[in-house]
Amino acid sequence: MDDDRSHALTPSARPPATSQLLDRIEDGDARALSRAITAIENRAPECEALLRALYPKSGRAAVVGITGSPGSGKSTLVDRLAAAYAASQRRVGVVAVDPSSPYSGGAILGDRIRMSDLEENPDVFVRSMATRGRLGGLAGATADVVTVLDAAGRDPVIVETVGVGQDEVDVVRLADVSVVVLVPGMGDDVQAMKAGILEIGDVFVINKCDRPGVDALERALRAMFALDESVRTPDAPIVRTIATDGRGIDELRDAIDRRGGARDAPPERARRRRAARARLTAVLEERLARLAHDHLLDDGEFEAAVDAVERRERDPYSVVDEVLGRFRFGRAE
């Protein structure tokens, strides 16, 4: 083995955690929270040290995932729900990973992004997540941000996502309580929820419940709970809301809290164990992917292989076999 080409898989440079930043995060300082989350999004050098220090202090918050199609009124609902928690002396964290969320910023097509009332509320910390370009996936980054908010004493931590793609399903799986927002009369909406979201809902919301079709939607949900064996919470409460005028929001908060209060029951323990396993696996995969980028891909030979693949002279499978075949992976001692 050529030792010059042999690398331990652990990162070499690991700056000491900024203990001052950590202290401020634990005090719940919003600017310190923002800074830590930016470090996570950018994979800044200090981010792992921060997460190592904060992880043991996390695990107290109820993590509430809220998902629904664009147009379901989900963002307004999250707004109101966060305000309801704040009104009952809770300090709330909100992570918006939905590209259609007003929090996720960036007005396009001349649309003005609605400024949330929450920005004025010191008991609610709102942060959007970029949905692109993160090695290791959106779910991993979101899990890290939830850890920071949880360690900072935010409880609940609400994760808002649009329930369509695999990334979004993975994000919902992080949650202790999953809330699915539906709207009467939107067949498309229901179609869009097929990717595993309905099965994992613990609490269902029928928002805009002054619209026609609300009874039919509730009956359809109950029928699904009864028929589909993959449904996780067959007795899931169905709460009717009109987020725009606040109707049903307190009932929703109570339904979430009842579900969150069951967190030490055996099925919930099993779920948290699965979440811990997924977390470990995600960190491991991210590290391996980074390794591939650092040690295999920055190579003139790799560029030549890209050319050959583009011209169809070679196929990507045999190129990867060849590249990996040159390396050996085994215990150091």
**Amino acid residing at 158:** I
CB 197 within 8 A of CB 180: yes
Asked if 41 is part of the footprint of a copy of itself (rule: CB under 8 A), the reply reads no
User: Measured in Å, how far apart are the chain's first and last C-alpha atoms?
Assistant: 14
Q: How far is the CB of 105 from a copy of itself (least distance, A)?
A: 9
Listed ranges 23-31, 241-249, 258-266, 280-288: which one lies at the site for a copy of itself (CB under 8 A): 280-288
Q: Which among 66, 73, 88, 116 has a CA at the least distance from the CA of 244?
A: 73
Q: Given candidates 81, 198, 200, 256, which one binds a copy of itself under the rule CB under 8 A?
A: 198
Q: Given candidates 17, 55, 86, 233, which one binds a copy of itself under the rule CB under 8 A?
A: 55
Phi and psi dihedrals of 81, rounded to 5?
-65, -45
CB 248 within 8 A of CB 242: yes
Q: Which of residues 231-270 bind a copy of itself (CB under 8 A)?
A: none
What is the pattern of x (binds a copy of itself, CB under 8 A) and - over residues 70-109?
A: xx---------------------------xx---x-x-xx
Q: Given candidates 16, 20, 56, 122, which one binds a copy of itself under the rule CB under 8 A?
A: 56
Asked if 1 is part of the footprint of a copy of itself (rule: CB under 8 A), the reply reads yes
Q: How far is the CB of 145 from a copy of itself (least distance, A)?
A: 14
State which residue, 111 or 235, has the beta carbon closest to a copy of itself. 111
CB 236 within 8 A of CB 202: yes
State which residue, 1 or 122, has the beta carbon closest to a copy of itself. 1
CB 135 within 8 A of CB 286: yes
Q: Which of residues 294-323 bind a copy of itself (CB under 8 A)?
A: 295-297, 302, 305-307, 309-310, 312-313, 315-321, 323
State which residue, 86 or 291, has the beta carbon closest to a copy of itself. 291
Q: Given candidates 190, 211, 244, 247, which one binds a copy of itself under the rule CB under 8 A?
A: 190
CA separation for the pair 39, 21 (Å, rounded): 12
Size of the site for a copy of itself (CB under 8 A): 102
Q: Which among 135, 147, 126 has a CA at the least distance from the CA of 42?
A: 135
Q: Given candidates 37, 94, 162, 256, which one binds a copy of itself under the rule CB under 8 A?
A: 162
Q: Given candidates 67, 69, 116, 241, which one binds a copy of itself under the rule CB under 8 A?
A: 69
State which residue, 11 or 261, has the beta carbon closest to a copy of itself. 11
Q: Which of residues 101-160 bind a copy of itself (CB under 8 A)?
A: 104, 106, 108-111, 131-132, 137-138
State which residue, 232 or 287, has the beta carbon closest to a copy of itself. 287
Q: How far is the CB of 86 from a copy of itself (least distance, A)?
A: 26
Asked if 42 is part of the footprint of a copy of itself (rule: CB under 8 A), the reply reads no
What is the pattern of x (binds a copy of itself, CB under 8 A) and - over residues 209-228?
A: -----------xx-xx---x
CA separation for the pair 255, 275 (Å, rounded): 22
The enclosing H or E element of 250 equals helix 249-260
Q: Tokens representing 293? A: 């980028």
Sheet hosting strand 177-182, strand order edge to edge: 124-128, 92-96, 157-161, 63-67, 177-182, 203-206, 238-240
CB 202 within 8 A of CB 259: yes
Q: Which residues contact 309 (CB under 8 A, 6 or more apart)?
A: 315, 316, 319
CA separation for the pair 200, 8 (Å, rounded): 39
